[in-house]
Amino acid sequence: MERKINIFDTTLRDGEQSAGVNLNISEKLKIAQQLAKLRVDVIEAGFPIASEGDFEAVKTISREVRDVSVAALARAETKDIDRAWEALKTGQNPRIHTFIATSDIHMRYKLGLSPEEVLEKAVMAVKYAAGFTKNVEFSAEDAFRSDPDFLVRIFDEAVKAGASIINIPDTVGYATPEEFGALVRYIIDRVQNTGQVEVSVHCHNDLGMAVANSLAAVQAGATQVECTVNGLGERAGNAALEEIVMALNTRKDHFSAYTAINTRQIYRTSRLVSSLTGFPVQPNKAVVGINAFAHESGIHQHGVLQEKTTYEIMTPESIGLTVNSIVLGKHSGRHAFEDKLKKMGYQMTREEINSLFTKFKALADRKKNIYDEDIEALIDAGLDTEKRPLHLDYFQVSCGNNSHPTSAVGLVYKGEPIHEACIGNGPVDASFKAIEKALGISVILEDYQIKSITEGKDAMGEVIVRISEGNRVFTGRAVSIDVIEASIKAYIEALNKMFMRPGGHIMPSLETRKEAI
């Protein structure tokens, strides 16, 4: 009989812990809403005690995203659990996820506690959390490097104290599939009442084995897998959700297991996470890489044309990757546009549709064929741009191989127009310099990526810019058929995030700056 495997997505918690990832609340909410469409069973939305931003994100997601369990992380401390519950309590099926490290190395050097003290804290935390909800998960951090018999003891006590999910992490990605499967089996066989609790695994990818280890755990009897979209996460990341789900789906004959995931939402989810985090997906990445379904060699192409299954073990459609179809053009009206949005699965308010329709018309004036991806790009670019303090009014660039690249940029900051011109190493560099000069600021450009996201000579170019100020990184993304425009808009979006973050950058008033200049 096939077993149901629950998918616990931790993109917004462990994924967000990746160096260089910094999502704001509205971006986290967008991702959570998409994860709900993907039909994950649990969304771990953050670590509320860690920061005000995490607390607010968990609170907002708990309130807004229904029909999915929302989890929050808490150390085995009452203050962490109180904070997690405060953020979660309006949710439909909130889960408190409490953890403590159990390996000798972590207990001695990180916690400075004996195994008995760790056991005591774990029991206290689970009991305390169970006072708020029955949906309590207990994780033994660095479980794979822990003494298996100590793990059995602590999980036994956690279950007695009220945990309904026990989680076995390979925190440092050290396990091999055979070893990890054996550990999961050892625990299932020895911890009492494992038939009544969920057994979860959480694998990191330091040696590239996170997915293999998670699947070995499923074969050993695990009922929940913790993972992230695109394998995002601390260091080398976590097990990739899309790979686990498609492996279970494609090899049902082998695993005899299924998930509730709507696989047709996988590609869209991957794209959204990539564009909001600014972390690109490598072209040959399993399942969601741009080449995952591309057949380059003549022999392969011939085979696929004769019979797809010669070289395709899953279809592009199964992950929601459809062949580009021309959907609309400049003569398309509002009805056709609304109908297309509905078919693509978007539910929007009248206001949002109006704002998007204006952008669609502007794009259709410049681009003959509008594909699904173009519409998605407009949506991803954000509907709430009006609330942002900084806007682009115009830009004018001049460059050539015999002249200094120059850019003149006109901006509107909080309703006030400002203009500046600069020369640079290229039109993009000149434009970024002009923006900084106009605003009287200096930020570090950490990363700049550009790629085309639709087909043809009039393809839309996507630019992702990462800037930093102090130890905070801000990501901006924009699309346009003009790559200079996309670059400037992405830069402005990153700056807006910097200005709008809680307690954010205080801009001197324009008058003060003009006087200083």
Residue closer to ligand KIV, measured from CB, 80 or 493: 80
**DSSP summary character for residue 414:** T
Residue showing tokens 């940029």 = 409
Report in angstroms how near the CB of residue 281 gets to ligand KIV at its nearest: 22
Strands 198-203 and 224-227: parallel
Site for Zn ion in 468-507 (CB under 5 A): none
The window from 12-20, 133-141, 354-362, 475-483 that contacts Zn ion (CB under 5 A) reads: 12-20
Report in angstroms how near the CB of residue 83 gets to ligand KIV at its nearest: 15
Residue closer to Zn ion, measured from CB, 29 or 172: 172
d(CA 223, CA 200): 6
Q: 30: which 2 tokens?
A: 């967008």
**DSSP structure string for 111-147:** I---HHHHHHHHHHHHHHHHTT-S-EEEEEETGGGS-
Please provide residue 348's backbone torsions phi and psi, each rounded to the nearest 5 degrees: -130, 155
Q: Strand, coil or helix: what is 397?
A: strand
Q: 300: which 2 tokens?
A: 């392969």
Residue closer to ligand KIV, measured from CB, 69 or 167: 167
Report in angstroms how near the CB of residue 467 gets to ligand KIV at its nearest: 28
**Which strands sit side by side in the sheet containing 416-423, from one edge to the other?**
390-400, 403-413, 416-423
Residue 99 interface partner, choices ligand KIV, Zn ion, none, CB cut-off 5-8 Å depending on type: ligand KIV
Residue 141 interface partner, choices ligand KIV, Zn ion, none, CB cut-off 5-8 Å depending on type: ligand KIV
Catalog residues that contact ligand KIV under the rule CB under 6 A. 14, 73, 99, 139, 141, 167, 169, 171, 202, 204
Residue closer to Zn ion, measured from CB, 15 or 424: 15
Residue closer to ligand KIV, measured from CB, 103 or 355: 103
Query: Could you give the C-alpha distances from 12 to 199, 238, 322, 471, 475, in angstroms and in order?
Result: 22, 12, 27, 20, 16
Q: Write the CB contacts of 153 (distance below 8 Å, at least 6 apart in sequence).
A: 119
**DSSP summary character for residue 106:** I
d(CA 241, CA 277): 16
Report in angstroms how near the CB of residue 168 gets to Zn ion at its nearest: 12
The window from 9-17, 345-353, 388-396, 424-432 that contacts Zn ion (CB under 5 A) reads: 9-17
Any contact of residue 137 with Zn ion (CB under 5 A)? no
Report in angstroms how near the CB of residue 119 gets to ligand KIV at its nearest: 18
Residue 188 interface partner, choices ligand KIV, Zn ion, none, CB cut-off 5-8 Å depending on type: none
Residue 139 interface partner, choices ligand KIV, Zn ion, none, CB cut-off 5-8 Å depending on type: ligand KIV
Give the binding-site size for Zn ion (rule: CB under 5 A).
1
d(CA 381, CA 161): 47
Any contact of residue 14 with Zn ion (CB under 5 A)? yes
Q: Give residue 223's Cα distance to chain centre.
A: 23
d(CA 216, CA 210): 10
Residue closer to Zn ion, measured from CB, 14 or 243: 14
10 Å Cβ neighbour count for 67? Answer: 8
Residue closer to ligand KIV, measured from CB, 202 or 367: 202
Contact 496, 475 (CB under 8 A): no
Q: Give residue 443's Cα distance to chain centre.
A: 25
d(CA 398, CA 422): 11
Report in angstroms how near the CB of residue 85 gets to Zn ion at its nearest: 21
Report in angstroms how near the CB of residue 287 gets to ligand KIV at its nearest: 23
Report in angstroms how near the CB of residue 84 gets to ligand KIV at its nearest: 12
Residue closer to ligand KIV, measured from CB, 173 or 424: 173
Residue 272 interface partner, choices Zn ion, ligand KIV, none, CB cut-off 5-8 Å depending on type: none
Binding mask 290-319 for Zn ion (x = CB under 5 A): ------------------------------
Report in angstroms how near the CB of residue 62 gets to ligand KIV at its nearest: 19
Binding site for Zn ion (CB under 5 A): 14
